[in-house]
Amino acid sequence: MSTYDRALTVFSPDGHLFQVEYALEAVKKGACAIAAVSDDAVIIGVEKKSAAKLQDKRTVQKIYQIDDNISVAFAGLTADARVLIRKARTECQSYRLTFDEAPSISYVTRHIAGIQQKYTQSGGVRPFGISVLITGFDESGRPRVFKTDPSGTYSEWKAVVTGRNGHDVQEYLEKHYGEGENTSTDAVKTTVFNAIREMVESAEKNIEIAVVRPGKAFEFITDEELKQLNDEKNE
Amino acid sequence: MSTYDRALTVFSPDGHLFQVEYALEAVKKGACAIAAVSDDAVIIGVEKKSAAKLQDKRTVQKIYQIDDNISVAFAGLTADARVLIRKARTECQSYRLTFDEAPSISYVTRHIAGIQQKYTQSGGVRPFGISVLITGFDESGRPRVFKTDPSGTYSEWKAVVTGRNGHDVQEYLEKHYGEGENTSTDAVKTTVFNAIREMVESAEKNIEIAVVRPGKAFEFITDEELKQLNDEKNE
Amino acid sequence: MSTYDRALTVFSPDGHLFQVEYALEAVKKGACAIAAVSDDAVIIGVEKKSAAKLQDKRTVQKIYQIDDNISVAFAGLTADARVLIRKARTECQSYRLTFDEAPSISYVTRHIAGIQQKYTQSGGVRPFGISVLITGFDESGRPRVFKTDPSGTYSEWKAVVTGRNGHDVQEYLEKHYGEGENTSTDAVKTTVFNAIREMVESAEKNIEIAVVRPGKAFEFITDEELKQLNDEKNE
Amino acid sequence: MSTYDRALTVFSPDGHLFQVEYALEAVKKGACAIAAVSDDAVIIGVEKKSAAKLQDKRTVQKIYQIDDNISVAFAGLTADARVLIRKARTECQSYRLTFDEAPSISYVTRHIAGIQQKYTQSGGVRPFGISVLITGFDESGRPRVFKTDPSGTYSEWKAVVTGRNGHDVQEYLEKHYGEGENTSTDAVKTTVFNAIREMVESAEKNIEIAVVRPGKAFEFITDEELKQLNDEKNE
Amino acid sequence: MSTYDRALTVFSPDGHLFQVEYALEAVKKGACAIAAVSDDAVIIGVEKKSAAKLQDKRTVQKIYQIDDNISVAFAGLTADARVLIRKARTECQSYRLTFDEAPSISYVTRHIAGIQQKYTQSGGVRPFGISVLITGFDESGRPRVFKTDPSGTYSEWKAVVTGRNGHDVQEYLEKHYGEGENTSTDAVKTTVFNAIREMVESAEKNIEIAVVRPGKAFEFITDEELKQLNDEKNE
Amino acid sequence: MSTYDRALTVFSPDGHLFQVEYALEAVKKGACAIAAVSDDAVIIGVEKKSAAKLQDKRTVQKIYQIDDNISVAFAGLTADARVLIRKARTECQSYRLTFDEAPSISYVTRHIAGIQQKYTQSGGVRPFGISVLITGFDESGRPRVFKTDPSGTYSEWKAVVTGRNGHDVQEYLEKHYGEGENTSTDAVKTTVFNAIREMVESAEKNIEIAVVRPGKAFEFITDEELKQLNDEKNE
Amino acid sequence: MSTYDRALTVFSPDGHLFQVEYALEAVKKGACAIAAVSDDAVIIGVEKKSAAKLQDKRTVQKIYQIDDNISVAFAGLTADARVLIRKARTECQSYRLTFDEAPSISYVTRHIAGIQQKYTQSGGVRPFGISVLITGFDESGRPRVFKTDPSGTYSEWKAVVTGRNGHDVQEYLEKHYGEGENTSTDAVKTTVFNAIREMVESAEKNIEIAVVRPGKAFEFITDEELKQLNDEKNE
């Protein structure tokens, strides 16, 4: 057991990077997060561990704003996520100071993924135990969603999940996202809700959904709306 | 046995960070600490190991002031706690010098949790063997309580415990905190006292409770008051 | 298993560098990439994992431009590739600033291979888990193709493959490249398509082919053209 | 056996820091040292290994002055103690230069304990194999005694022991210190003598007792006084 | 197997440096290289792995020019060789800048061997997996040949081989080099050809021979000449 | 066996520093050295391994001058001793340059012991395998003798031994040093001779004795004197 | 076996430094070297491995000049020796620049031995696998010979051997050096020849003898002289 405690990240004989794969296990154990684009917004849905009775729900937060038009959700180790998010925020500020304009979402994605890769190739550190969903808008206002994993790989998605039960949820998204060519914000919101609803106990306690529009504050959907979505689902 | 002696903090195959979990064991062995908010104050209660007969009770102290309106309690390794507390104090002073105002409690919490995370991801150091309860007031004077753990995760609470028997005490808090919608300072003080009373031998020797109000000195409750609370409990 | 996690790259008793060979295994597991020269262009063909249904195909990209006349494809770990590509791009810009002219393709190849070698001989890092196909044009406009491997070795080719099923695909190329002395761009494009077609499920979903000409943008062939090449092949 | 030779200080699965505990074993094997406060002085008593016949008793010294009003005794590895004492002395001089006043005893204690903690959390060093008794006077002239251990923990005491047979000696102190409300210097001196007398062969050869008063030189008690105390004890 | 992956180069109980010996194994597996002096030239012969059908023969190059009158061939890891060759070239340029004259061949040899030795005695690196044949001319124009091995040892030769089947080839050279007191360039060229011919499949595909004369460009012998040498040999 | 080859100096479970104890074994295997004070001189006696027949006796030297009035002898690894002696000499010169006076013998002792301690607590080095006898005179001209061991501990002695058979020799010294209250230089010289004579084969070949007086050169006793002492002993 | 590959040089439980002893094994496997003083010269004799037939005898050299009047021979790893020799030469030049005079032979010996010791006590390097014979003349022109070993120990000799069969050869030297009080250069030369002759196959091929006189070039003895010495021996 103890041997896992002394490693750098190197190749196994069949070409695997064990530390990266182990970090992925940490991701797979994390509460799941979904991000999807609609016609004019990004919808982020996260599974919340029922906050303990006396816990403040806001600090169990899993959706963070990085820059004016860029937000992230994640699955995996919360403490690792906070560190990476802080690094990303600093980079955004630095970018603005240097270039006098906002960094693009693809720039931010490359930056986050690059940090994650670096922690898989250098001695004396371990990989980040998180997968990050990076959401935002490009210059034309088009909503976009990217996903990174502990290896530092990233790709763009219309709708994507990470974390616990990721495989099943992604299948659900593939089946229902854009059904009937409908990718209106309401339709996508419902899909995201339904995808995450399958695996949690209580819609109101365990689901948080935010709608993000360019240049606007997060719109966290209300408990009533969650109840309503829940009722619709059960119909 | 000796193999635990040479580790860096890395992932095990199933995604665990052993050193962080072992550090958590050190926390679970520590004397317990409780923090809770009332309507206008923070109540901190700590289990004191009976000071040895000739020991000065003040240096077995487990409640520390970090900044004018920010105090902490902790469970785990005392020497580690002192180092982390010193770092936090230095940061507060530095913040005041730079920005000419007091750091907010959430800033201080992020800073402490960030240091704890860093010690789980870099080579050549081990995690801090402590969990910290950070208490204080926001600008509007609202009392707040945060808790960090060795991984660097943190969250906000109305009432929270860390350390020995943490599971049972938290259950007690969940059941009794705010009973009858009463979160007056007196009511919360009683709850904190009762929660910690269950597992210690002597109310007067093993319990220390402080009431913190914005801009005021700690109010350590007196032995008479402890006795009275004890009597009430036994009624 | 865990013992692979703590290594530097050193010799085994029979003169092998295990970490380099393990990295090569990572390459052999990667989706394959082909590059070939025609009379006046470079043709790059890559196997695409079927993008997941909701995944944006562009970020599963495996062909990157490094400098005006230099592009690369790769097999192996995508995150590693991106890092190495970023390093190569930076070197090209730096070269231009210093010498006021574009770096030659052989200069860029030596630079990339040199970085890869360095990561096999120094402590505290692991080799890059990628093989890179570097394509471009020399000063006279002649198309050229180089291939590096994780050891940092490189060589020049008329047509070469790396990644999954590399052995079989290279045999196919050797048999059909330049058949009938025909190395027109169309002929080579067909050969590259056919070579990669053997091992993928769907021509349209799993094959990407780009034609690169000096001083011009990539010409990614269209789905229709892919369909047509597919039909021709099946004739 | 050899495995103990390559360690950094990290957690064991049940939350222990082995290197710290092993260092504590070195302390427990060391000749014991006692420090106690009386009404107006500090009494330090140490067990001396019988100096070898030809050995100069003064260099087997276990009581050191750190600053004008601060002295220490220790149990554990003498060579480690000397290094730590030198560091403490340097800090005191540096403090005086910077602030133009003497450092307080609690400042010096925090400094010594801080160094000890640091050697338990950083790579490439081992903990100090000593426990230190720090004695002195605060600004009002009140005598004070602190004790640190290899973990860097410290606390204040009225009377405390460290080293060989520490458990039994502390019990003796608890029973007899301040008997009859008498904490005169003479009474405490007798208690310290008696506590240490139990476990050594010869009062004159194996006990050294110093009385420290604010702003005065050490008063090492004479052989006659030791003999007298011995006789009184045996009465 | 994995244990070879974490080593520094140190002595075994019977005085061996394993990493150096393992590196020598890498040399012995490499395609062989021969260098010999004639009356007025250096002849370098190398075994070429049959270039793959579509591979450019020039990049499978094993003969490199280091400075105006100094060239090298090698056996072992090509990527390592390129790095060492680059270092040697840089040193030559630096020498010219500093001393305003060309470095002597013995200076260059000492420099290359010194680098190789250094990589056998310092931590954090492995030895170079190559043996280098350094050829050139001294100030009087006399042709000279040196050979280094991974330990950093070097010596001068009239005719020497390194790499695959080195033992047999050296025996052949010893028997035939300078037969009949004839060390004309033609005679030595024939001897080098014949020595290498024994172990390769095809004279034209697998043998490369260069004749180097002071102050002149390499003279690679033509395919016709190879064919002719082959025919002569078979007579 | 090999496991001893990779250690830093850390604690064993029962509080031992193995590397220090192993270094002490190296001391115990070394030829013995004795130092003793007389009324007005220091007498140093060392066991010499019979120099090989053709060996120059002077380089098997075991008595070194460090500063005008300070000399040392040692037992253990000669090469280690020379390094430590050089460091001590450099410190003495540096001290003289800085303070314009000679360093005291206790300063030099603390310095040597401090270096030895440091090599037991830092990573990447091993302890010095020597015990040093430091001899000299204080400002009043009083002869003094100190002894350090590999842990960095030191103490002052009237007469002390280190190295092979140290236990028996020390017992001899304790029995005979200062017999009849006679600590004249002649008496002490005889005692030192006799102590060392017990365990060597030949007085003349294996014993070297030096008498050191303040401000004077070493007086190595002559072979005749050795013979005479030998005869007296055998009487 | 592999465990020897990862060591630093530390003590074994019985006080041995294994890496130093293993390095000594490398010395004992090396071709032997003898140095001896005569009345007015130094005679150096070395066993030469029969140079391979085509090898230049001069680069298998084992006798090196370090400074005008200082030369060395060695046994052990040739590449290590060259590095150490280069360091010694650099030190001599530096000494001359700083002090404007030649370094003494004892200074050079201390410097070489000091480097060798340092490589036995620091992390990240291994000891030098050589024993060095340092020969020269002191200011009065007296010939002198020193010998170092891998531990960094050195001593002075009239005649001394290192390397293969060292034990037997030293016995021979002890028996015959200075026979009949004759230490003329001719007599010593004959003794050195005879000592080395016993263990080599061919006097002319395997023995090299140099006579060094102050301020003069090496006098390598000729093949005729070797033959003559051989004949005399066989008489």
| Closest-CA residue to F151 (of F41, F16, F36, F59) | F16
**Segment F126-174, tens digit of pLDDT:** 889 999 999 999 888 899 999 999 999 999 999 999 999 999 999 999 9
| Res B1: pLDDT | 23
**Segment D49-90, tens digit of pLDDT:** 777 788 887 766 789 999 988 999 999 999 999 999 999 999
On chain A, the residues whose CB falls within 8 A of the CB of B156 are 55-56, 58-59
What are the beta bridge partners of residue B145?
B135, B157
E24 contacts C157? CB cut-off 8 A? no
| Closest-CA residue to A45 (of A162, A176, A154) | A162
- Answer yes or no: are the C-beta atoms of C47 and C61 closer than 8 Å: no
pLDDT, chain E, mean: 88
* Entry field: residues in chain E: 235
| Closest-CA residue to G125 (of G83, G89, G161) | G83
What is the nearest CA distance from C9 to chain A, expressed in angstroms?
9
D2 contacts F11? CB cut-off 8 A? no
- Answer yes or no: are the C-beta atoms of A191 and A58 closer than 8 Å: no
**Segment E122-166, tens digit of pLDDT:** 766 788 999 999 999 988 889 999 999 999 999 999 999 999 999
C13 contacts E25? CB cut-off 8 A? yes
**Segment E201-225, tens digit of pLDDT:** 887 888 999 999 988 878 888 989 9
Which residue is closest to D12 within chain B, CA to CA? Answer: B4
pLDDT above 70 for A39: yes
F177 at interface of D, judged by CB pairs closer than 8 A: yes
- Answer yes or no: are the C-beta atoms of C34 and C159 closer than 8 Å: yes
C117 at interface of E, judged by CB pairs closer than 8 A: yes
E7 contacts G79? CB cut-off 8 A? no
On chain B, the residues whose CB falls within 8 A of the CB of D11 are 4, 19, 22-23, 25-26, 126-127, 129
Which residue is closest to B81 within chain D, CA to CA? Answer: D153
Closest Cβ–Cβ partner in F11, F114, F173 for D54: F173
DSSP SS3 for F64 = strand
Q: Which residue has the tokens 């405390």?
A: D160
User: What is the band of F8 on the pLDDT scale with cuts at 50, 70, 90?
Assistant: low
Closest Cβ–Cβ partner in F8, F114, F177 for D83: F114
Instruction: For strands D130-137 and D143-148, give the pairing.
Output: antiparallel
pLDDT above 60 for B190: yes
Q: Subunits touching E (CB < 8 Å, at least 3 pairs)? A: C, G
| Six-digit token string for C144 | 């050229």
DSSP SS3 for E144 = strand
C-alpha C79/C-alpha A131 separation (Å) is 14
User: What is the band of E103 on the pLDDT scale with cuts at 50, 70, 90?
Assistant: very high
**Segment D19-50, tens digit of pLDDT:** 888 899 999 999 999 999 999 999 999 998 77
In sequence order, the 6+-apart residues with CB closer than 8 A to the CB of G10 are D5, F4, F5, F6, F7, F19, F22, F126, G17
Angle formed by the axes of helices G166-176 and G185-197, to 10°?
Answer: 150
Burial string for A40-69 (b: 16+ CB within 10 Å, else e) reads ebbbbbbbbeebbebbbeebbbbbbbbbeb
Closest Cβ–Cβ partner in G13, G120, G157 for F55: G157
What is the percent of chain D with per-residue pLDDT over 70, rounded to a whole number? 94
User: C91 vs C66, C99, C136, CA distance in Å?
Assistant: 10, 12, 16
| Res E10: pLDDT | 66
| Closest-CA residue to C112 (of C149, C64, C62, C166) | C149
C-alpha E50/C-alpha F85 separation (Å) is 63
What are the beta bridge partners of residue F73?
F63, F133
User: What is the band of B174 on the pLDDT scale with cuts at 50, 70, 90?
Assistant: very high
C-alpha C12/C-alpha C17 separation (Å) is 6
User: A197 vs A32, A185, A194, C41, G191, CA distance in Å?
Assistant: 11, 18, 5, 53, 97
| Res F144: pLDDT | 96
| Res C123: pLDDT | 62
On chain B, the residues whose CB falls within 8 A of the CB of D16 are 26
C18 contacts E1? CB cut-off 8 A? yes
pLDDT, chain B, mean: 88
User: What is the band of A177 on the pLDDT scale with cuts at 50, 70, 90?
Assistant: very high
pLDDT above 90 for B213: yes
G10 at interface of E, judged by CB pairs closer than 8 A: no
Q: Mind giving me the DSSP string for A25-62?
A: HHHHHSPPEEEEE-SS-EEEEEEPPPPPTTB-GGGG--
| Closest-CA residue to F12 (of D150, D2, D78, G16) | D2
pLDDT above 70 for G124: no
Among A130-139, D22-31, F117-126, G25-34, the least confident range: F117-126
Closest Cβ–Cβ partner in G3, G10, G18 for F19: G10
| Mean pLDDT across B43-61 | 82
| Six-digit token string for A178 | 């854009």
pLDDT above 50 for F2: no
What is the nearest CA distance from G180 to chain F, expressed in angstroms?
15
pLDDT above 90 for E186: yes
**Segment C149-172, tens digit of pLDDT:** 999 999 999 999 999 999 999 999
Which residue is closest to G12 within chain F, CA to CA? Answer: F4
On chain C, the residues whose CB falls within 8 A of the CB of E1 are 12, 18
B14 at interface of A, judged by CB pairs closer than 8 A: yes
pLDDT above 90 for C54: no
In sign, the C-alpha dihedral spanning C106, C108, C112, C115 is: positive
| G82 Cα distance to chain centroid | 13
pLDDT above 60 for G131: yes
DSSP SS3 for G212 = strand
C-alpha B71/C-alpha G11 separation (Å) is 50
Residue B216: count of CB within 10 angstroms of its CB = 10
E101 at interface of C, judged by CB pairs closer than 8 A: no
On chain F, the residues whose CB falls within 8 A of the CB of G9 are 5, 126
What is the nearest CA distance from F115 to chain G, expressed in angstroms?
13
User: What is the band of A1 on the pLDDT scale with cuts at 50, 70, 90?
Assistant: very low
| Res E70: pLDDT | 94
Residue F162, φ and ψ in degrees, nearest 5:
-145, 150
| Res E19: pLDDT | 83
User: C103 vs A26, C15, C136, E83, F67, CA distance in Å?
Assistant: 43, 35, 11, 20, 64
| Res B196: pLDDT | 92
- Answer yes or no: are the C-beta atoms of F14 and G2 closer than 8 Å: no
C-alpha C89/C-alpha C96 separation (Å) is 11
Closest Cβ–Cβ partner in A6, A14, A110 for C6: A6
| Mean pLDDT across B144-172 | 94
| Res G123: pLDDT | 62
| Res D124: pLDDT | 65
Q: Highest-confidence range of C48-52, C54-58, E231-235, F129-133, by mean pLDDT?
A: F129-133
DSSP SS3 for B10 = coil
- Answer yes or no: are the C-beta atoms of E166 and E185 closer than 8 Å: no
Closest Cβ–Cβ partner in G60, G79, G129 for E113: G79
pLDDT above 50 for G5: no
D5 at interface of F, judged by CB pairs closer than 8 A: yes
pLDDT, chain G, mean: 88
| Six-digit token string for D134 | 């720090």
DSSP SS3 for A102 = coil
pTM for this model (two decimals): 0.73
C-alpha C147/C-alpha C153 separation (Å) is 8
Which residue is closest to D3 within chain B, CA to CA? Answer: B2
Tell me if there are at least 3 CB pairs under 8 Å linking chains G and B: no
On chain G, the residues whose CB falls within 8 A of the CB of E131 are none
E5 at interface of G, judged by CB pairs closer than 8 A: no
User: A188 vs A34, A47, A135, B119, E12, CA distance in Å?
Assistant: 11, 17, 15, 41, 67
Helix ranges, chain A (H): 18-29, 78-99, 105-121, 166-176, 185-197, 203-206, 223-234
| Closest-CA residue to G110 (of G93, G122, G128, G92) | G92
- A-C CB pairs within 8 A amount to 125
User: B9 vs A8, A113, B6, C52, C227, CA distance in Å?
Assistant: 10, 22, 10, 34, 52
**By CB neighbour count within 10 A (0-12 exposed, 13-18 middle, 19+ buried), where does D201 fall?**
exposed
What is the nearest CA distance from D235 to chain B, expressed in angstroms?
27
E52 contacts C157? CB cut-off 8 A? yes
C29 at interface of A, judged by CB pairs closer than 8 A: yes
**ipTM metric:** 0.74
The residue that leads in pLDDT, A62 or A177, is A177
What are the beta bridge partners of residue A144?
A136
Q: Which residue has the tokens 């009770």?
A: B57
pLDDT, chain A, mean: 88
pLDDT above 80 for E20: yes
D10 contacts B55? CB cut-off 8 A? no
Residues 132-161 of G with CB under 8 A from F: 146, 151-160
| B44 Cα distance to chain centroid | 8
C117 contacts E82? CB cut-off 8 A? yes
**Segment D84-134, tens digit of pLDDT:** 999 999 999 999 988 999 999 999 999 999 999 988 887 667 889 999 999
**Segment G147-178, tens digit of pLDDT:** 999 999 999 999 999 999 999 999 999 999 99
DSSP SS3 for G229 = helix
Residue F32: count of CB within 10 angstroms of its CB = 25
What is the arrangement of strands in the sheet containing B63-67, beginning at the earlier edge strand? B63-67, B70-76, B130-137, B143-148, B154-157
Which residue is closest to D79 within chain F, CA to CA? Answer: F153
| Res F176: pLDDT | 95
On chain C, the residues whose CB falls within 8 A of the CB of E27 are 15
Among C128-132, E53-57, G11-15, the least confident range: G11-15
Closest Cβ–Cβ partner in B13, B118, B174 for A53: B174
C-alpha C89/C-alpha C103 separation (Å) is 11
| Res F6: pLDDT | 38
Amino acid identity, residue B121? Answer: Q
| Six-digit token string for E136 | 């050139």
What is the nearest CA distance from A114 to chain C, expressed in angstroms?
7
C-alpha B192/C-alpha B135 separation (Å) is 15
Tell me if there are at least 3 CB pairs under 8 Å linking chains A and B: yes
Residue E189 DSSP one-character state: H
On chain A, the residues whose CB falls within 8 A of the CB of C78 are 151, 153
